[in-house]
A and B are shown apart, each in its own frame.
Chain A
Amino acid sequence: MDACNAQLIEIWQAPEGNGGRIRVDHPFDIVPGQYMLVRRALDLSSLPMVVFPSSKVDNGLITAASLPIDWTPGEQLNLSGPLGHGFRLPASVRFLGMAVPDGDPSRLMPLIDAGIRQGAAVSLFLGKLNERASFFPLPAALEVQPLSALPEALVWADFLAVDILLRSLSSLGELLGLKGGNQKLPCPGQVLVRTDMPCAGIADCGVCALKTRSGWRLACKDGPVFDMEELIDVAG
């Protein structure tokens, strides 16, 4: 695991916690959906925080809503990663759908940017639309819709990315408008599964275990992004 020193430059309050800009003195590449670990450099025993960068900026990254409330600008940090498997957006995708039923859209921001860069029409479907969409500076090219419109949109989408809590995974089929088991997915897609990942793949501790069609998998190292067909009707 690559690790380097970093510094918290700026913080702000977001609906689901503090976001911030972190200066990183080390070049890094990260695929949308991969995560990093960050901790106070001098903190002895706290578990590192899992952060999903919402964007890369000059000399660092922006993380939307995962920083502890007692971290202040100037804080010396230790950053490691990237870890896990991220999204694989096919280059052929022209209609990209994204859904965030139970959180803010920050973790999907790098994928939104990637979709727009490759010329795709991108739609984002949000639960609690008003309070979440209004906070984040979303690209003008992005269409934002309520989550209830998702099943209709899947008729035209040729790839769907979902960001969902592990405990909500059992509702994924319903979210996509699939009634009953073994229904065919309307389009290929991938799911970012959010859950605690205390060991970050070091120990196979099992806290982030989820059931897939291929058996039990760990979000920290087999994910946190999984193919949608692996999860529909089995995950939880």
Chain B
Amino acid sequence: MWLDESAIQKQDLIIDPPYVNAAGSLGFYPGASAVSDWHLLGAFITNPVSLKARKPAENRVCINFADGFLLHTGLPNPGFSVVLKRYAQRWARAPLPVIVHLIAEDVKGLAQMVPRLEVCENIIAVELGFAPDISADEADRLIDSAFGELPIIICLSPYQVSTIAPVLVDSRVSMIRICEARGMLPDDNGKLVRGRLYGTGLFPTALQAVHELAAMGLSVIGGGGVYTNAQVKALFQAGAAAVSLDAVLWRGGLKLDTLIEESIKEQ
């Protein structure tokens, strides 16, 4: 007997403990430099990976503002094949499960990359990141091309939630992660630069996005501007299934347990 399409269910993805690093916050594999208490994270999310190598942006820059900073890098990476060659063994030996973040540029690229990740050890999901101005239809096509054996996490900035989230409600997507919002600031020469935003000022919009997605029945990894235990608790209260940490991990000497252990106990 053939199953009709409606019988295909979401692939369950459980992140336990319910904490991850955000893509781009800790590199391509869980090295020893930033975090020593890996057992407090439920999974490691890699830096964004594209099918072909991406060079650093010509006007790469970090611009500080009152409550945070803007980062424009061009998401440099050596390309999918090189990343796989360089890190697949490290992922296999990692002290925690790995989620590979793919830059979703086109259908063909995703269709090439995802099957090759399915045969790697210790990878529990694929995360897709979209261009900031992507339409719901295009996002839908890209998501469709990425379905395979691995659960899929979709990265949405708070500003993409109202556009993209409705197409995810009845999809097979396992989770949605709220990622950094985008913004624009002038650089030292007065030239306007677009980039990803980090800092505590981002938290209120991230929290609202989590609340909206959870109300739609979607499983959400909340993040964006998380720096305190109180913010972690608020995300869980808003319905987050897990929490992602970004630039807080760049504070020298951060002990993860000061940020999240109390929240774990209360779960």
| A contacts, CB < 8 Å to B | 1-4, 37, 39, 44-48, 78-81, 196, 198-207, 209, 216
Contacts and interface: CB of A to CB of B under 8 A. Distances in A.
Contacts of B247: 45, 47, 198
B60 A202 contact: no
Contacts of B253: 1-4, 78, 80
A126 to B, nearest CB: 22
B198 to A, nearest CB: 8
Nearest to B73: A206
Contact of A80 (B27, B62, B200, B252): B252
B252 A3 contact: yes
Contacts of B132: none
A96 B27 CA distance: 38
6 contacts: A45-B227, A199-B25, A204-B28, A205-B73, A207-B62, A207-B73
Contacts of B69: 47, 198
A78 B27 contact: no
Given A3-B252, A45-B247, A78-B253, A203 B24 contact: yes
A216 B76 contact: yes
Given A1-B252, A45-B68, A45-B225, 12 more contacts: A1-B33, A47-B64, A78-B252, A78-B253, A198-B247, A200-B252, A202-B250, A203-B34, A203-B249, A203-B250, A206-B60, A207-B73
Contacts of A216: 55-56, 76
Interface residues of B, number: 38
A1 B57 CA distance: 28
Contacts, number: 94
A3 to B, nearest CB: 2
B34 A202 contact: yes
A1 B255 CA distance: 11
Interface of B: 24-28, 33-34, 47, 55-57, 60-62, 64, 67-69, 71-76, 198-201, 225, 227-228, 247-253
A3 B24 CA distance: 23
A44 B250 contact: no
B78 to A, nearest CB: 9
Contacts of B56: 206-207, 209, 216
B227 A44 contact: yes
Given A45-B227, A209-B76, A216-B56, A203 B27 contact: yes
A202 B249 contact: yes
Contacts of A199: 25, 250
Nearest to A45: B200
B199 A45 contact: yes
B81 to A, nearest CB: 16
Residue from A37, A44, A205, A209 having most chain B Cβ neighbours under 10 A: A205
B252 A39 contact: yes
A200 B33 CA distance: 10
Contact of B252 (A81, A196, A198, A206): A81
Contacts of A200: 250, 252
A44 B228 contact: yes
A79 B252 CA distance: 7
4 pairs of A and B residues whose beta carbons are closest in the complex: A3-B253, A80-B252, A209-B56, A206-B73
A78 B201 CA distance: 22
B199 A207 contact: no
